[in-house]
Structure 1
Amino acid sequence: MPQTIASAVEHELVVKKSRFLACVQPVAGRAQALQVVAALRAGHPGAAHVCWALLAGGDSAAVDDGEPGGTAGRPMLHVLRQQDLDGVLATVVRYFGGIKLGAGGLVRAYTDAVAQALLRADKTALVRWSALDCQLPYALEGAVRRALEAAGARGLQVDHGPLVRMRFEVAAEAEAALRARLDDLCQGRIGWA
């Protein structure tokens, strides 16, 4: 099951006088990741490179930012994939120390910087939510509310009109079972939008 991290975690690594400032953090998607990277570039104008890797909602990216191809972004992305993460951005700001590390040294440094930051990160299961909308007779409202509570539904919104309309979210993996449970409970008197 994919995981994400609860909050941003930083780690600094020094290799042959080069400083690698790593940060792993939760992000909603590519747009937010690009904003974070732009802020890092603005905040570290003397940095030689701002490399990053993203896994978020099936969208992935690996950017070497001037480092030799495949020595920064892809190794960082590989670390995220190995840990089955989603909704996570890994960034590494590099201040060049004057000593070249070679391709293998760069891969090790970027990989290690991200891996060390992830060791300190609080990982949580990533829950995907499905939004559902249904209508039912007033007499069934109480029973449906209890079933939603038992299923861990969240964000319940109820409108009372000719029928009771309920909008809520449930964990995507529990959606089919909840629909079947409510269909059975309501004996065909529930309508799904």
Structure 2
Amino acid sequence: MFTLAAPATHQEEIKRSRFLAQAAPVDDEAAARAFIEQVSAADANHNCWAWRIGQAYRFSDDGEPSGTAGKPMLQAIDGQALDGVVVVVTRWFGGVLLGSGGLMRAYGGAAAKCLQGAEKRRIVLRHPLTVTVGFSDLARVKARLQNVEDLLVTAESFVDTGAVLDLGVPEGGLESLETLLTDLTSGRALIHRER
């Protein structure tokens, strides 16, 4: 699963209608709606949009025939395995009717080209894990944690006997990391999984 690293745009003309696709990463519905409002052009005939955030999604045909704009745009998002993304395709009508199939290709295609050209970053699902290690093990543990792919050290605090590390462990890596920490510290590390 991926999301966008930064906003992206794509513009094209299809049978004298101008299409402008704009996409951005978003964290929640409020951010998606704010982006839609921000980039919608008042002088355009249609500002169609779609967004997906986890299992939640919405789309709008904004006056185009039902199912010809928003849904193909959502399919463009899903077709590229994207999440946390909003796309707005603005159309300035050029006088030539495109028909239902033409509209679906135009809106879905503009959204897909915009997303294809965008810089993406991989989404890594992480589980929280808290580890307490003594001072004698701390340097060795921290050095080895740097080599664990996609692991995040989200906080580090010190106590009388050592340090408490709050970690974000990539999905599927909890057991192997717990084994690594236990082996590195000869069982001295206190490991606590968040529920």
Q: Please confirm whether the aligned pair reaches a TM-score higher than 0.5, indicating the same fold.
A: yes
Normalising by structure 1, we get a TM-score of 0.85
The 3 A distance-change label for structure 1 pair 79 and 143 is: same
1:191 aligns with 2:174: no
CA distance in 1, matches of 2:165, 2:182: 14
What's the counterpart of residue 65 of structure 1? 62
Aligned residues: 190
The alpha-carbon deviation at position 156 of structure 1 amounts to 4.7
2:153 and 2:165 in contact (8 A); partners too:
no
Within the candidate set 107, 123, 136, 2:120 is matched to 123
Matches within 5 A, 1:80-159: 80-152=77-149, 153-159=151-157
Structure 2's unaligned 5+ residue stretches are none
* TM-superposition CA deviations, 1:5-56 (whole Å, max 9, x none): 3222211122232211112222223221111001123xx1111221111122
CA distance in 2, matches of 1:182, 1:113: 49
The 3 A distance-change label for structure 1 pair 142 and 26 is: same
RMSD (Å), alpha carbons: 2.1
The 3 A distance-change label for structure 1 pair 125 and 156 is: closer
Normalising by structure 2, we get a TM-score of 0.85
Structure having the higher helix fraction is 1
CA distance in 2, matches of 1:7, 1:47: 24
The 3 A distance-change label for structure 1 pair 35 and 176 is: farther
Identity of aligned residues (%): 33
The alpha-carbon deviation at position 188 of structure 1 amounts to 5.3
